[in-house]
């Protein structure tokens, strides 16, 4: 039997370029036919006849190419946008360096950009990236490009879309239906993380339900049970923000670490002030992308920081209280959200002293955290009868 060998991978690359060039010839032929028919009917009279003849152009192309009129209009619109506004992309398409799927995605980005200088910048950068990356990677790159180059306009569009948020319920057959929610991406990410982790924790109940079924049951419980107001499963979400955006020097977006979504940075700052979702904010250098810092952004300390503070302090930080730190709340010395969720602004307080501090009867001093050092909480003397009654009841609890 004769030995066989696989063809070199260069052949596969040649096939890819031939296919892309064939797509270019197809699109170019459609454009040429459309342009010729538009020129032929330019002086057709009466105007109604001219309108009818021109409306039949897409139908004629569709019959020849086995496409619907809608598909023809979409292809011609995207191709014309690229040909007229991004000549480098159109040239790369004709050379076989880019296929139609990538060109179509670039056309959508051109349509989203509102400034001509932004389109010119895209034309100068995108070909080199698109030629060496997958279609999915290109779509992420294009989204980031719009958010960085026209961050102010992208933020305005995002704000307008957020005003359209809604929930819809559709009842179907066999006693089932659909719950659909149009929500900001960072909220969807938190819901997804909580469902994912909660469903796996619920697996301890037994193997009678699939993960998808457990996620559905959890969501239904959160929406219908009163105790769902306090989430049993916390979400951990990380976003990256450029330093200049974080400083407020320019408008910009916070992007998920997997690159699947991004929202205006101000949305993250607003949402971390409430709720049980914990946000990790990774600050990056705008030009090089280097990581400058990793910050905890949220009211509650992550597990690693919580354990470290428990080990550091050992007990409640109120004077003379020996309640183990593991049974205490981590309290902010400078209240959240003004005060950061960081080791130097947190300390354990038992539930009773935490409540007293929240009502103004205890306060953190400016001294260092207590390990063997003097107490860092001083007692405020309160003359208000109602407040004194609260102190007495708290002491008896």
Residue 328 tokens, joined: 């205490």
The answer on 22 and 123 residing in a single domain is yes
- The CA distance from 213 to 206, in Å, is 12
- Counted residue by residue, the chain has a size of 397
Is residue 122 included in any domain, yes or no? yes
Strand partners, 347: 331
Is residue 4 included in any domain, yes or no? no
Residue 385 has pLDDT above 50, yes or no: no
* Domain carrying residue 366: 303-396
Residues 6+ apart with CB under 8 A from 7: none
Residue with tokens 């079924």: 213
The answer on 287 and 313 residing in a single domain is no
Nearest to 95 by CA among 21, 175, 167: 21
> Of 149, 164, 189, at which residue does a domain stop?
149
Nearest to 272 by CA among 316, 248, 237: 237
> Of 102, 134, 149, at which residue does a domain stop?
149
Of 3-12, 64-73, 213-222, the one with minimum mean pLDDT is 3-12
Q: What is the DSSP string of 161-174?
A: HHTT-EEEEEE-ST
The answer on 173 and 105 residing in a single domain is no
Confidence of residue 207 (pLDDT cuts 50, 70, 90): low
pLDDT, tens digit, 9 for 90 and up, residues 122-162: 999 999 999 988 898 899 899 999 998 999 999 999 999 99
Longest CA–CA span in the chain (Å) reads 102
pLDDT, tens digit, 9 for 90 and up, residues 271-288: 665 555 666 767 777 777
The answer on 230 and 257 residing in a single domain is yes
Residue 388 has pLDDT above 60, yes or no: no
The answer on 119 and 19 residing in a single domain is yes
309, 343 contact by CB (below 8 A) = yes
The answer on 89 and 181 residing in a single domain is no
> Of 113, 132, 149, at which residue does a domain stop?
149
Nearest to 233 by CA among 198, 275, 278, 274: 198
Is residue 242 included in any domain, yes or no? yes
Quote the mean pLDDT of the chain: 81
Portion of the chain with pLDDT greater than 70, in percent? 81
Q: Name the domain count of the chain.
A: 3
- The CA distance from 351 to 344, in Å, is 20
pLDDT, tens digit, 9 for 90 and up, residues 30-54: 999 999 999 999 988 898 999 999 9
The answer on 259 and 139 residing in a single domain is no
Residue 156 tokens, joined: 């305005």
pLDDT, tens digit, 9 for 90 and up, residues 296-342: 666 777 777 787 788 778 888 888 788 888 888 888 888 877 887 77
- The CA distance from 324 to 311, in Å, is 10
Strands, DSSP E only, in the chain? 166-171, 177-182, 236-242, 253-256, 262-264, 278-284, 291-297, 329-332, 346-349, 362-364, 377-379
Confidence of residue 17 (pLDDT cuts 50, 70, 90): very high
Residues 6+ apart with CB under 8 A from 350: 316, 318, 321, 323, 327, 328, 329
Residue 389 has pLDDT above 50, yes or no: no
């Amino acid at each position: 039997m004769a030995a066989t060998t696989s063809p070199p991978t260069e052949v596969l690359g040649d096939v890819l370029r031939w296919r892309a060039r064939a797509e270019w010839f197809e699109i170019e032929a459609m454009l040429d036919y459309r342009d010729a028919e538009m020129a032929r009917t330019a002086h057709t009279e009466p105007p109604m006849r001219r309108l009818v003849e021109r409306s039949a152009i897409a139908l004629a192309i569709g019959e020849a190419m086995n496409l619907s009129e809608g598909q023809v209009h979409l292809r011609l619109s995207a191709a014309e946008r690229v040909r007229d506004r991004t000549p480098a992309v159109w040239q790369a398409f004709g050379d076989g360096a880019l296929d139609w799927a990538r060109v179509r995605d670039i056309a959508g980005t051109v349509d989203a950009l509102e400034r001509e200088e932004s389109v010119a910048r895209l034309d100068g950068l995108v070909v080199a990236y698109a030629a060496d990356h997958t279609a999915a990677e290109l779509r992420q790159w294009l989204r980031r490009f719009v958010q960085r180059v026209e961050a102010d306009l992208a933020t305005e569009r995002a704000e307008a879309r957020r005003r359209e948020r809604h929930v819809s319920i559709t009842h179907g057959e066999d006693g089932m239906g659909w719950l659909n929610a149009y929500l900001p991406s960072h909220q969807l990410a938190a819901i997804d993380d909580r469902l994912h982790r909660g469903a796996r924790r619920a697996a301890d109940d037994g193997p009678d339900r699939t993960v998808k079924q457990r996620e559905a049951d959890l969501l239904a419980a959160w929406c219908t049970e009163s105790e769902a107001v306090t989430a049993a499963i916390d979400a951990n979400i990380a976003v990256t923000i450029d330093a200049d955006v974080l400083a407020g020097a320019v408008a910009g977006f916070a992007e998920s670490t997997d690159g699947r979504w991004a929202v205006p940075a101000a949305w993250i700052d607003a949402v971390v002030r409430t709720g049980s979702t914990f946000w990790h904010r990774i600050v990056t250098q705008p030009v090089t992308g280097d990581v400058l810092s990793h910050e905890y952004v949220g009211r509650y300390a992550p597990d690693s920081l919580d354990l470290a503070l428990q080990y550091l302090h050992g007990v409640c930080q109120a004077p003379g209280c020996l309640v183990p730190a593991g049974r205490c709340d981590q309290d902010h010395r400078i209240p959240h959200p003004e005060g950061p969720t960081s080791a130097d602004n947190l300390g354990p307080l038992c539930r009773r002293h935490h409540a007293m501090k929240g009502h103004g009867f205890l306060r953190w001093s400016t001294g260092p955290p207590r390990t063997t050092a003097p107490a860092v909480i001083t007692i405020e003397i309160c003359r208000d009868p109602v407040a004194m009654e609260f102190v007495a009841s708290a002491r008896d609890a």
